[in-house]
Amino acid sequence: MRPEAAAAHAEELARQVAGAGNPSSGHAAGRAARARWEEARERIAAALGADSAEVILTSGATEADTLCVVGAARAARAGRPGEPGGARVSAGGGDAADADAPVVACSAVEHPAVITAVRNLQADGLARAEILPVGADGRLLLPAAAEAIGRRPALVSVTAVCHETGVVQPVEEVVRLAREAADRERPRGVPVHTDASQALGVHPVSLRGQDLDALTIGGPKIGAPVGTGALLARRDLALAPVGGGGAQQRQVRSGTLDVAGAVALAVAVELAVADRERTAERLGRLRAELVSGIAGRIPGLRVTGPDLDRPESVAVSPGIVHVRIPGADPDALLLALDAAGIDASPGSACTTGVLGASDVLLAMGLSESDSRTGLRLSMGRTTTQEDVAAVVRALPEAARAAREVGAIAGRA
């Protein structure tokens, strides 16, 4: 956490200890708490190019993604005669959606919060899922996106930065294609959502600046407390509620408002946006040092992105170095790095603990065995040159040891 966000969080918690009111209550203590919550929402909106009424505060990016993807599909279905937006039209699994169900499209390298929601909508018969392919470099194939947008889905979701590889996705081009699909029924064309959790703080993120219909952020990525996040959704984007409750926050996200979390998130968002250019430049230098430091010391190492022998390839976010070490046992590699004091993972933190083949790498066309060899080294606000030097020292030996274990396992 950022110290400033932690201090703001603690200050608000101290008010609650002293008897702060429920921000949904009409008494004086409740009104005072509501004012602080509204101020926090206004600050987030101002930093991210939105109106305060368009900020829906959540427990994190995962919930925000679900509210947007499922909410948009249910709202689209609600427009059909006799089909309420929240109705479950099928209790079974599989491809239960009928041919007239709304379509929800997303890229094949979305965070599990998005792609699982899309697939579950189809399994529950609420929508038809369209998973858009990526190339071998992990970047969305725009011709496939254009075809899908031409079929006028209820929503298309494309992440700003892949949570695993760090590949920057062509969100601006997707928005352009979506706006070209405008007609009398939908003057803005096809609604576009992006999960900007990995982008905020290192790339420009703005609801109106990028002409998006919705975007998601997660608090922990920018130094806010765990359990904070937000969905920013334009007023004219129809979202049906995913659950019931007291109808707070546009009736999309019910529940008692978390004033402490909102205040801390607002502080973190403002600092992340203000520091963005400096952070991106510093992380870019560290990333270059890390890649050049390990490139020649590990035989067969493959770096995802515009590195080594592919300088013309895709852009990668400066805070992520994703590599593949063919032949290395993934468990042995992580254990060796952990013993050296290096905290790394095979993918995003949300999938750590399940060391199967990476869905992202499978979508990029890698084999089942090669899709188990990914390693994600991520850097952030507190990363130093000494941290990078430690990885450069430790990774070659860790890779050698992991390959020995992999060779033994292969012979077995």
Active site residues: 350
DSSP 197-219: TTTBTTB---TTTTT-SEEEEEG
- In whole angstroms, give the CA distance from residue 394 to residue 72: 46
- Which has the closest alpha carbon to 50: 314, 179, 237, 290? 237
Provide the token pair at 363: 């979508």
Q: Which two tokens stand for residue 53?
A: 């009424």
Q: Tokens 């309420």: give the residue.
A: 84
282 conformational bin, left if phi > 0, alpha if psi -120 to 50, beta if neither: alpha
Closest Cα to residue 112, out of 61, 150, 78? 61
219 and 261 Cβ atoms separated by less than 8 Å: yes
Amino acid letter for position 305: G
Got the DSSP string for 265-329?
HHHHHHHHHHTHHHHHHHHHHHHHHHHHHHHTTSTT-EESSS-TT-TTS--B-TTEEEEE-TT--
Q: Strands 103-107 and 128-132: what pairing?
A: parallel
